[in-house]
Amino acid sequence: MIVALASLAGVALFLWPYLGLGPFPAAPALAVAGGAVVLLAAIEAAARRLDTRLLALLAALAAVDAALRLVLVTGIGGFSPIFFLILCAGFVFGPTFGFLTGATALLVSALATGGVGPWLPYQMFGAGWVGMFAGLVGLRWHSLPALAVAGLLSGFAFGLVLDLWDWSYLRGAPGAGFTPGLPPAAVIAAFGRFYLVTSALYDAFRAFGNVLMVLLLGPPVLAAMQRLKARFTLVVE
């Protein structure tokens, strides 16, 4: 429930331009994303669900992801190794920790690689939702194929969601960006064409790259995270 409420801020950011309100300013958008992450972490810490050990693990995962992104800044197509640890963390530790891992990893990696721009708050929410989705999958299914499917779906979903921002950023560009005043059906059709032409193949590299990394590297990483989770869990009988 708490992570869902934090996500509402991200949904509002993405939908803002489509409500006829014009583009959302970049600096306030970053403040909204950062504020949502800090508030969520503070609530989890106050509820004793995010202690110092999990905070240290969160910082370590963000640092490792930043290093991975430095090694492969441009990626291969839309693929980036940064999503692998986000998927694993959410799958093992749950939706809220997955959301925090994704949003924090994107923020730290952007600072490390110089990728700070108006797109950053939207990438933070998008990556946070990848971790949250993996966490929701992990609550119901506990198999490696389930995580691989989550990686496949989230690879396409991340690109689709980020294209909502791209398309609104190109507002008014002939044949490319969002055109205000169109009927909803026409807006959906135009966005579908934009996604298929500009991003579908690009996102396929990310989606299938996620699957490959989960299947090849998932077993040892998930086992290590499960051991950490067992060590960090206190059961009172």
Q: Domain count of the chain?
A: 1
CA atoms within 13 A on the CB side of 145: 0
In a domain, 237, yes or no: no
* Segment holding 71, helix H or strand E: helix 52-71
Whether residue 80 contacts residue 102, with contact meaning beta carbons closer than 8 Å, is answered with no
Residue whose C-alpha is closest to residue 157's, from 105, 106, 195, 101: 195
The residue range of the domain holding 173 is 2-15+23-232
Q: How many CA atoms lie within 13 A of 191 on its CB side?
A: 23
Asked, for residue 152, whether it belongs to a domain, the answer is: yes
Model confidence over 139-193: pLDDT tens digits? 999 999 999 999 999 999 999 999 988 888 765 455 567 777 778 888 888 888 8
What pLDDT, in 10s, does the model give residues 191-229? 888 889 888 998 999 999 999 999 999 999 999 999 999
Of the candidates 4, 152, 162, the one whose C-alpha atom is nearest the C-alpha of residue 83 is 152
First vs last C-alpha separation in the chain: 27
Task: Answer yes or no: is 29 within a domain.
Answer: yes
pTM for this model (two decimals): 0.91
